[in-house]
Structure 1
């Protein structure tokens, strides 16, 4: 009886261990250690802090509550937006992997110098990865009120 209970306990432990490992499996668009935090941000583009998003190629950092683990980079692209997570998609997060905008045209990973094109997210030549920054496509924009909602 004790042997059966022990085997059953080990079997159940293995099943739960496997479920836990699989729930953190590799994502196709980032490294497997990429944090997965909820995003729920509402921006009023009538406010001065978000004015850059009223113009094509304008961008801002968003570091509010519920804007991921390190914040977002939001870029106006024509009549739409590109929304990037500030965690480097190809390196496990540490102190030097928060993405930055450089010269209003590129996104830079300070840890290894990898650069992406700001408007498209495509890696520049010589990039250490073919992964683009994690991009969020769930957003609503009301042009009349200039309210941008980003969620994930």
Structure 2
């Protein structure tokens, strides 16, 4: 009986782990492990201090098309810059249109607040961590 209780507690901890519902699986966009930081005190990223502003970052360390980072007012969202419902091609880099991203291949729009559009796959979202004036975006 004494051996069963610790085993039960360990299995309870194992099954109670959660990823907070975070899912960024998309058959068109490969998974890249990355971590990139943005200092909001630098002029290139200072627009992110204000609600409804976004920046595009296309460094070599974040995947084939880059990422968009957006200030929602209650936090930050980061999305892959590849069209979520298109195979990677010359036209599959999303473009910024106000608070939406537009896929030039099919003219579909996706909200930077939710990542949702009208087609099957939403924008591929990445995690964002805020540490003072530093944003860390990672997969």
Give the alignment's TM-score, normalised by structure 2: 0.77
Q: Which residue of 2 aligns with 1:69?
A: 64
RMSD of equivalent CA atoms: 1.7
Q: Which residue of 2 aligns with 1:122?
A: 116
Moved more, 40-49 or 56-65: 56-65
Higher gyration radius (CA): 1
Residues 1-152 of structure 1 mapped to structure 2, 5 A cutoff = 29-30=25-26, 32-102=27-97, 104-123=98-117, 127=118, 129-137=119-127, 139-143=128-132, 146-152=133-139
> 5+ unaligned residues in a row in structure 2: which ranges?
1-22
Deviating above 6 A after TM superposition, structure 1's stretches of 4 or more consecutive aligned residues are none
Q: Distance in 1 between matches of 2:115 and 2:24?
A: 16
Give SS of 1:69's match: coil
- Is contact 1:37–1:69 with CA below 8 Å preserved after alignment? no
> 5+ unaligned residues in a row in structure 1: which ranges?
1-26
Q: Distance in 1 between matches of 2:112 and 2:129?
A: 21
Give the alignment's TM-score, normalised by structure 1: 0.71
